[in-house]
Chains A and B, each alone.
Chain A
Amino acid sequence: MLRIERLSAGYSAKPVLNDVSIDVGAGQFVAIVGPNGAGKTTLFKTISGIVKPSGGAITFDGVDLLAVPPPQRAHLGIAHVPEGRQVFPSLTVMENLEMGAMTESGHRDWQANIERIFEWLPVLKERRNQFAGTMSGGQQQMLAIGRGLASSPKLLMLDEPSMGLAPSTADFIFERLIEIRRQSGLTMLLVEQRVAEALESADRGYVLEAGHVVLEGNNATLRADDRVRKAYLGM
């Protein structure tokens, strides 16, 4: 569904991604793990069009994504749940979800989507008239996920949904994500620093270090790999 080939990107003279190739098949849950500064967020920003690549190709659903203007990419079915949540603070929870549904498919499926979102993330229903900026970090993260789901995406990209959250909250959000995926069969691409959890729930994984893919494979291979065990799983 999403195919990234030999992608290089960065900010002005500083390259962040080098020859990165990643493949996400329809229905798959793929995790990208790696330390801070490895280029994970830059990769997501390049997919969404906020960062311009210096080389390589991205195709989504057979479409050359780099030829599509950034705001149009959401309309193709890509939902980006950004790092640091980035909800709209002066909009209410409900209005934030409506913004997620700006796409045609989101507009069409609004009623069905909102019911499912409220079922998966009941806190959003309770607080639907609250301003997003006044919510806690965990609640904002759930809102950011709900906002992504509201567009009826084909691909949900999650950038560090556990960032800055208490461990118990992060666990809860992971558990919700797995439940959402189990029920919807949605294709998901997850970037995460909590390597153990990410590799446990994903079908496949990539290890990104200093802008290079240093390792890739299915979840069993990665978890059995010595380097991963030493560097990320503390074993």
Chain B
Amino acid sequence: MEGFLQALAAGLLIGAVYGLMCVGLGLIFGVMRVINFAHGDFMMLGMYTAFYLFTAAGVQALFGNTVGPFVAILLAGPVLALFGYFVHLALISHVSGTRTASLEGEGHYAQLILTLGIALILQNGGLIVFGSVLASIRTPLSSSAWELGPLFDMSIFLNKARSIDAVVSLAIMVLLSLLITRTRIGKSLRAAADNPTAATYMGIDVDRAHRTAFALGCGITAIAGGLLATNYPFHPFVGLEYVIVMYAGVVLGGMGSIIGAFWGGMTIGLVQQMSTLILPTQLQNAAIFAVFLLIIFFRPQGFFGRMVERT
């Protein structure tokens, strides 16, 4: 029982961060319908950005070892959002949005090749610039825990860094939901996702909406990556490990549902941690995909998937 609760708690904490990571991709896919294979590598860049902001750009000196990492991680968000903005402007916009809306397959083939190409450049460019040595954003909180309990002779330990990671993720999720559901920008993003042609008739610049979504998606996933990096070491090819999890989360949540992607990521975090109760740790990822297939078998549209296709 104690082991079960401990795994549940760990799953919820890591699930919140996975959820945030998936939301970044879900936002891009939901609004643009572009399969971004480079998203894991944008996350890798986010991790390194947070790492260098912390160690080399003075954040560590300014905020210390405890708060500093989280300041650096939050700052990496806007940096990667800006990077995403320009990648969209220079590259992605040429193979997506209104330019390809009338083409057969809406330009998906070109998008596939382009984002795979970006992924390769980022991975190998990362190898040249950052080297292959494992890096991590260490904080003293990574190796200490809060104890919940004892209650009924049971205690649950919550890793302090992971707990803060989860709280930060949830806070950003709340802010993002408010942005999407309450503001004019958010509503116009959803309108552009629903029906790009009709959105144009409303005077919404669909390509600009896409750029906003792409920038936001990159920024959000960068923050999630930074949060993961407080506990997991990373390297230039780390994106590959996570991009699969991201896609699984987005599909589980329901393609196109932005909030759904969060619950998809949460599910994956839970399954990953709970599976260690009955399976060897090496089979964590196998467990994720077994559960993934099971859920998709019974609910092909995902948790929040729309039954009606977009017009």
Contact = CB atoms under 8 A, between A and B. Distances in A.
Q: Do A and B bind each other?
A: yes
Interface of A: 11, 48-50, 69-75, 79-80, 82, 84, 86-91, 95, 98-100, 102-103, 133, 147, 151
Interface size class of B (residues with CB under 8 A): 20 to 34
Given A71-B204, A86-B198, A102-B203, 14 more contacts: A48-B201, A73-B203, A74-B200, A74-B202, A80-B201, A86-B195, A88-B190, A90-B306, A91-B187, A99-B191, A102-B184, A103-B202, A133-B306, A151-B203
Contact of A89 (B187, B200, B201, B311): B311
B115 interface: no
A91 B188 CA distance: 10
20 contacts: A48-B200, A49-B200, A71-B205, A74-B200, A74-B203, A82-B198, A86-B311, A88-B194, A89-B194, A89-B195, A89-B308, A91-B194, A98-B184, A99-B191, A100-B202, A102-B184, A103-B202, A133-B308, A147-B202, A151-B203
B201 A88 contact: no
Contacts of B308: 89, 133
Contacts of B44: none
Contact of B195 (A88, A95, A103): A88
Most chain A CB atoms below 10 A, which of B191, B197, B308? B191
Q: Which 8 A-B pairs have the closest CB atoms?
A: A74-B203, A88-B194, A86-B198, A80-B201, A71-B205, A99-B191, A88-B191, A99-B202
Contacts of B195: 86-89
Q: How would you classify the secondary structure of chain B's contact residues: helix, strand, loop or mixed? A: helix
B194 A90 contact: yes
Contact of B201 (A74, A95, A133): A74
A91 B174 CA distance: 19
Contacts of A103: 202-203
A49 B205 CA distance: 12
A102 B310 contact: no
A30 B202 CA distance: 22
B238 interface: no
B311 A102 contact: no
A84 B311 contact: yes
B204 A102 contact: yes
Given A91-B187, A91-B194, A99 B204 contact: yes
B306 A75 contact: no
B190 A50 contact: no
Given A86-B311, A95-B187, A102 B194 contact: no
Nearest to A75: B203
A103 B203 CA distance: 6
A89 B310 contact: yes
Most chain A CB atoms below 10 A, which of B184, B195, B310? B195
A151 B204 CA distance: 12
Nearest to B209: A71
Nearest to B193: A90
Contacts of A133: 306, 308
Contacts of A86: 195, 197-198, 201, 311
B172 interface: no
Contacts of A102: 184, 188, 202-204
A50 B204 contact: no
B23 interface: no
A60 to B, nearest CB: 14
